[in-house]
């Protein structure tokens, strides 16, 4: 039981390049989330999927798109990377959309030059 896995662990992009961050969970959770963590800013929600087939914007969605591929997988895409998107990205999942704890992956450290 791996929990929440994220790939890649590290990535360096040039401005304007695109990439997709992958996230998968094996806990049969219904809800999945993407956050970014920046110094002094805590964790900020980018997009979330309360259940398979639905996605919604979080606090900081600009410059990102998401796909809930199936119940297990939730990907985050940067179409045209900008230096402001340099951050650590965390994926999380939870069993239901009700109040419950979220389980986090190990993170992807992204640098955009």
For position 97 contacting another protein by CB under 8 A, the verdict is yes
89 neighbors 7 (Cβ within 8 angstroms): no
Q: Which two tokens stand for residue 36?
A: 């970014």
Site string for another protein, 57-96 (x = CB under 8 A): -xx------------------------------x-x-x-x
What 3-state class would DSSP assign to 83?
A: helix
- Let me know how many helices (H) and strands (E) the chain has, helices first: 0, 11
User: Which of 104, 95, 3 lies closest to 50, judged by CA?
Assistant: 95
Piece of 12-20, 54-62, 67-75, 76-84 that binds another protein (CB under 8 A):
54-62
Q: Which two tokens stand for residue 69?
A: 């591929």
Q: Is 27 in the site for another protein (CB under 8 A)?
A: no
Q: Which stretch binds another protein (CB under 8 A): 17-25, 31-39, 60-68, 75-83?
A: 31-39
Q: Which of 22, 45, 67, 72 binds another protein (CB under 8 A)?
A: 45
């Amino acid at each position: 039981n791996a929990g929440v896995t994220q790939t890649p662990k590290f990535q360096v992009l040039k401005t304007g390049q695109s990439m997709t961050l992958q996230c998968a969970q094996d806990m049969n959770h219904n809800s999945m989330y993407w956050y970014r963590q920046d110094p002094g800013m805590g964790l900020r929600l980018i997009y979330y999927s309360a259940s398979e087939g639905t996605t919604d914007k979080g606090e900081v969605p600009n410059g990102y798109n998401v796909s809930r591929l199936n119940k297990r997988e939730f990907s985050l895409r940067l179409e045209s990377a900008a230096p402001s998107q340099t951050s650590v990205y965390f994926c999380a999942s939870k069993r239901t959309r009700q109040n419950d704890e979220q389980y986090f992956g190990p993170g992807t450290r992204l640098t955009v030059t």
